[in-house]
Amino acid sequence: MRVAVVGVVGRLGRALVAALEGAPLTGGRPPIGWDQPELELDTVTAASFGALLDRERPEAVIHTAAWTDVDANAREPELAMRRNGTAVGEIARACAARGTDLVFISSNEVFDGRRTDGLGYRPDDPRNPINPYGAAKARAELLASEAFAGSAGRLAIVRTAWLFGPPGNDFPAKIAAAALRARAVGERLRVTGDEVGTPTYAPDLAAAIVALVGVDRPPVPGSVAIHHLVNGGRASRADWAREVLRALAIEVEVVDVPAATWERASTPPLWAVLEPTPLPSGVPMRPWREALADAVPALRRDLAG
């Protein structure tokens, strides 16, 4: 199977390239990779993306590229809607017209995070974004779904949350660096305690997506499947920080503070928990703490460097 990945230099994109290279479904061939400047979310159209499809002829496209700085999205909502919303509609229209399958990576931020019943969001729960990044992702889901109505191709919307992993500069790396700074001046580390979600290791997510592309074949062309793919378990940001520091043996006390403590351009949905959907193997993604252990050697190297 010929698979194209949009956004190959991103955290998830590079994990997908590695997962696809070793996957039986690609016969070990590296995926086709698109990124800037060949593909620019500000300007992509169904015609320009269609030209890429006609040139490389993939059977499936995994669209990971996005403007992921949620605060920058909040400061420039129109640009956010273009890059994370309407650009996805253009890509979806090009795929749908050719019967090419599309996997679009979306986010827990399509939900408002105001849930109080302790349950994770399910795929059919109503979208109600509370910030421009989430609004753009929600619009993208709708545009892609509309594009695939009646198409010979299939659309999979994969919602995930709280990604971490190579190449670093993620929440664990930022917490470790902040803790070292706090320790140097004898301070405690203040971390949000009322924002709860599931840290998700990009290589684990990539493996799950590849499994879906290879095995999950909805019988009805033009169908739309929504998947919630996250590691197992849940944690507050502060819990996550404590686990990172424990794994790195950095002794700094973490103090829970409310999200409202931080003045931010974007409003994070406080309940970021997604109810995971089943994978073709029937085996759920492993708990996030186990996945974090795999990320620790790279975190240590980065701190030492």
Ligand X SMILES: NC(=O)c1ccc[n+]([C@@H]2O[C@H](COP(=O)([O-])OP(=O)(O)OC[C@H]3O[C@@H](n4cnc5c(N)ncnc54)[C@H](OP(=O)(O)O)[C@@H]3O)[C@@H](O)[C@H]2O)c1
Catalytic residue numbers, as ranges: 133
Would you say 100 and 53 are in contact if contact means Cβ atoms under 8 Å apart? yes
For ligand X, the binding residue among 4, 10, 58, 110 (CB under 6 A) is 10
Interface map 14-43 toward ligand X (x if CB under 6 A): ---------------------xx--xxxx-
Nearest position to ligand X, beta carbon? 10
**CB 23 → ligand X: shortest distance, Å?**
19
DSSP letters of 153-215? S-EEEEEE-SEE-TT--SHHHHHHHHHHHHHHTT--EEEESS-EE--EEHHHHHHHHHHHHHH
Angle at 83 between CA 76 and CA 196, to 5 degrees: 75
Nearer to ligand X, 211 or 272 (CB): 272
Would you say 28 and 76 are in contact if contact means Cβ atoms under 8 Å apart? no
**Radius of gyration of the chain from its Cα atoms, rounded to whole angstroms:** 19
For ligand X, the binding residue among 9, 51, 152, 283 (CB under 6 A) is 9
**How far apart are alpha carbons 60 and 108 in whole angstroms?**
24
129-168: which residues touch ligand X (CB under 6 A)?
Answer: 160-163
163-222: which residues touch ligand X (CB under 6 A)?
Answer: 163
**CB 253 → ligand X: shortest distance, Å?**
26
**CB 186 → ligand X: shortest distance, Å?**
31
**CB 172 → ligand X: shortest distance, Å?**
12
**CB 42 → ligand X: shortest distance, Å?**
5
Would you say 66 and 105 are in contact if contact means Cβ atoms under 8 Å apart? yes
41-100: which residues touch ligand X (CB under 6 A)?
Answer: 41-42, 64-68, 83
List the structure tokens of 18: 């590695």
The amino acid at residue 167 is P
Would you say 235 and 194 are in contact if contact means Cβ atoms under 8 Å apart? no
For ligand X, the binding residue among 13, 89, 132, 153 (CB under 6 A) is 13
Nearer to ligand X, 66 or 238 (CB): 66
User: Interface with ligand X by CB under 6 A: which residues?
Assistant: 7, 9-13, 35-36, 39-42, 64-68, 83, 105, 107, 160-163
